[in-house]
Structure 1
């Protein structure tokens, strides 16, 4: 089941070409080590651990969200059943902890990871609760709440990847903290960009139909900052006129505000990198990667 979740095999074990993901977290872990002057191999255990944790979170997220497909094929729970998929996710989590415990920085690495996982769980819980909250009135989701959710759900593991790489590379606490903060800011920016693409993105690039997030009535950043637009809350309540809702959100400044927010957090991530001395070549590569992650198709 774990191999299936990574895209390495089909149900039953037959070999398959790895569908994989972007490899972002692994790259951040290795660059985190190189940025503090360590060889790339110092960051490999961090890269392995964060990818195990990321896959664990996806397996469980798919169950909670009821998603039946990921990367063009059935999700683990759909292929194997809910109970077995939960156990597969738990096994991935346990293997990640074991991977870190076996390094020369085991206690500190596990503490950093535990903090990130606590935040990830909190972010996922908030995301689930947002779906139950109203579109209008005092109980509606505010942009500040969304930013906190995005930092926890998406940014915590990106920050953990960078921080763990630096930690295993022998960096002082100040460098580990600065890299962790940079990753968290990038996580917010990355999530907000995903929100923009989820409404206005090219289906050939995103793999989802245009206005997909509006059809699914997701409370995304462009929507939340535009909710005061007359009639928008009523449109979102039904989700059956997504093109009209998208036009209203854009007219109310939701798209522009989201792009501005993403770039603001990218700038904050770059500022965090400037707080501590880092190796020039690795820092250059890291800046390029962070810029690519945030700007994508904006």
Structure 2
């Protein structure tokens, strides 16, 4: 067993657990981290980057199990105790998931082949940071204070915003949270809806990628490396979820916009000035 490789997997899991629910692009930071550490070969890294996110989204399921279960019951029966409109939440999540599923299933291989590289990540980090500045300064009228109040139309538009996250460096959380804020959803509801929306998207993408590309994991050690990263991401994400909800309820995302832009600029400088090697 390669201990150094396992340590790198732990680091990758920590990066995923911290960044998955922040508007800074977990995929982008995973690609950059893998590139800097020379972590695995490209095919294994591409699979790891997708599957390790499963750990973070399992943390959401664990932490919000009660609300998610009642939303499922509400979707099936039209009612559930303790929630204002559980059926609405279930329907909205289904509708918001459809666009990214269609685009992702159609273009997943092309996206991984041509866009999973540091230059794409850097450019999208900068663009996303500028969009955060714009949305935060834009006047807002709140139309949904809770995730259960998000309408079908708003959910569909959030789902379209989520399609942008297929480009590494954009951020799934960032595109859905900022998109929801733009559409008049409260900060807390935007964050929680983004968390919930990640469940079908990330679980589906991880399982599909494992099914299509499991052969790149050619040894038991490869599976151990993937498992370690996923477990670490679950634990770290579990510690971060409530903190982020509390953060967005009281503060804006300006600090994350600056972090995105500074990171993107540093990567571009490293590439063009210091000869940083791009993983193709």
Normalised by the length of structure 2, the TM-score is 0.31
Normalised by the length of structure 1, the TM-score is 0.29
Structure number having the greater helix percentage: 2
Relative contact order, higher structure (CA 8 A, sep 6+): 2
